Structure 1
Amino acid sequence: MIGPLLALGSALTWGIADFAGGMLSRRLPSAAVVGVSQACSLVVLLLVAPFVPLHGSDGWLLWSIVAGLSGSLALVCFYRALAFGTVGVVSPISALGASVPVIVGLASGEQPDGWQLAGLVAAFAGAVLASGPELHGEEPVRAQAIWFALAAAAGFGVTMLAIAKGSAHSPMMTMIGMRSASVLAFGIAAIALRSIGGVAVRDLPRLTLLGVADVAANALLGVASTMGLLSITVVLSALYPVVTVALAAVLLHERMRPVQVAGVALAFLGVGLIAAG
């Protein structure tokens, strides 16, 4: 039962990070938000690493690089889409990225029981509906948001799979390798562009917290994936849109639509069915 709880913790942390990152991206360039926050989180990881037991083979290396590059690109696309203010378009589409590792898990021979399979379907559908799919608005904005969200979904799916594969060898080293790869990529881009996007010193505390929250969510997913079926772990962690929508309702006073309320209820039903299995 610890694995599913860690996966739900990953969803909670991801939901908070996505909400905070989306808000920061409304006044700072998306690439700067991701790059600087990840650089700050790498520093925190390196400070913590000596106090965490490290074990396992070096099989994490390639997977961590894949996770770092795909995850960074996905976050840039996700925050860029959120900068348009079309949360109802971005969140449900990006949540579809979880289907990538789920398909891989089932194709590799994972066999959830009947209750768990029903829970997977319910939780996945609930995560999408909870975002309140809305496809109205001005055409140019809608088109950009959808394309960025699709790119984010593909990137998130690859990242989840790579985190799980790398964590099977070493969760902590996967996190360090993942962050090192992404920070190196953003560092090269910053040098090439001669800019870090206008990030001021006063922004660093918030960006550090954002980066730590993101890496914590990744770590929770990685550890959870070593304790249970990949298909179940990923779907539970993909419930982050429920958290993002809830924060928007509480902090931004956005009214939840009936479809969102139904989605939240369906997501909780899915969690219950998975637990029952």
Structure 2
Amino acid sequence: MFALLLALGSSLAYGCADFFGGLGARKAHALRTVVVAAPASLAVELVLWPLLGASFSPATLGWGAASGLASAAAFVLLYRTLAIGPMNVLSPVTALVSAALPAGVGLLQSEHLAVAGILGLPLALVAVVLVSTGPGTGATRPSRGALLLAFGAGAAIAGQLIFLHQAPSDSGVAPLIIGRAVSSAITLAAAGLLHRALGPERPAYAMSAAAGALDSVANLLFLLAARGGDLAVVAVIVALYPAGTVLLACGVTAERVHRGQLLGLGTAAVAVSLLAAT
């Protein structure tokens, strides 16, 4: 039950991070937002180091670096995906893949679910799709290339979660620090190479830093949840992060929540209740 609460907290933090990151990206190029968010995220993890400890074993370094590479790839693929195709189709594809792959890995690693979990897991996957889906006319179909990118983005997000889960359980926050250092280095290098193409706009420093700090909190809560519970359950709950973004957009920027998303929120509540009973 405690792992489930941590997963819900991680999902909410990821959703809030996406909300602030999205607002920041409206002010300037998305890469400029990440240039601020990534160091802020790393700073939070360094503050957590003396509190939660960190053990930098070879296995931790390897899995942490792999998670950082996956995180950097996820950023590039996700924004490219949403730039070339209909978001209301591609976003749920990405979210579903990011949930299903870690769930599959968890089940392959001999994780067992009770009857309630067997019912709740597919229901949660349905909720992931519903809360991720935005309103659309249905007239635009994504190209095959856009769908492949969406699958790639989801796979990269899933890879980050899986690699963090594979890190030694006694490594503290070391996998997070290594992962964020790697992804930050890649992002900063990309920003330096593409400096002229990013435009003159300055990033929204406060919102970008908030997005980075919340992302660190989300990563930490996921790591703790995965260490204390089943990856199959934790990953699916975490993938409900669009619900947090939807609720914030509704309350802060007065965006409308359409019927499908409301249905998704209700479905998520039922799914979480079933998973909590496992």
Counterpart of 1:42 in 2: which secondary structure? helix
TM-score of the aligned structures, taking structure 2 as reference length: 0.87
**Cα pair 1:164 1:225 within 8 Å, conserved:** yes
Structure 1's 151 and 257: CA in aligned 2 closer, same or farther, altered over 3 A?
same
Counterpart of 1:59 in 2: which secondary structure? helix
Counterpart of 2:74 in 1: which secondary structure? helix
- 2:109 maps to 108
Counterpart residue type for residue 93 of structure 1 = V
**Cα pair 2:49 2:173 within 8 Å, conserved:** yes
Within 5 Å, which residues of 2 pair with 1:1-277? 1-55=1-55, 57-82=57-82, 87-96=87-96, 97-132=98-133, 136=137, 139=140, 142-143=142-143, 146=147, 148-166=149-167, 168-194=169-195, 197=198, 203-277=204-278
**Deviation string, structure 1 residues 5-32 (Cα, Å, up to 9, x no partner):** 1000000000111122122223322223
How far, CA to CA, are the matches of 1:189 and 1:221 in structure 2? Answer: 27
Count residues in correspondence: 276
TM-score of the aligned structures, taking structure 1 as reference length: 0.87
**Cα pair 1:25 1:83 within 8 Å, conserved:** no
Structure 1: segments with no counterpart, 5+ residues = none
Counterpart of 2:54 in 1: which secondary structure? coil
Residue 63 of structure 1 deviates from its aligned partner by 1.2
How far, CA to CA, are the matches of 1:23 and 1:85 in structure 2? Answer: 20
How far, CA to CA, are the matches of 1:128 and 1:202 in structure 2? Answer: 31
Counterpart residue type for residue 257 of structure 2 = M
Counterpart residue type for residue 161 of structure 1 = I
Residue 167 of structure 1 deviates from its aligned partner by 5.5
Residue 121 of structure 1 deviates from its aligned partner by 1.1
Counterpart residue type for residue 221 of structure 2 = L
Structure 2: segments with no counterpart, 5+ residues = none
Residue 106 of structure 1 deviates from its aligned partner by 0.7
**Deviation string, structure 1 residues 181-221 (Cα, Å, up to 9, x no partner):** 01111233234334593587763232211111111111110
Q: Which moved more, 1:104-113 or 1:40-49?
A: 40-49
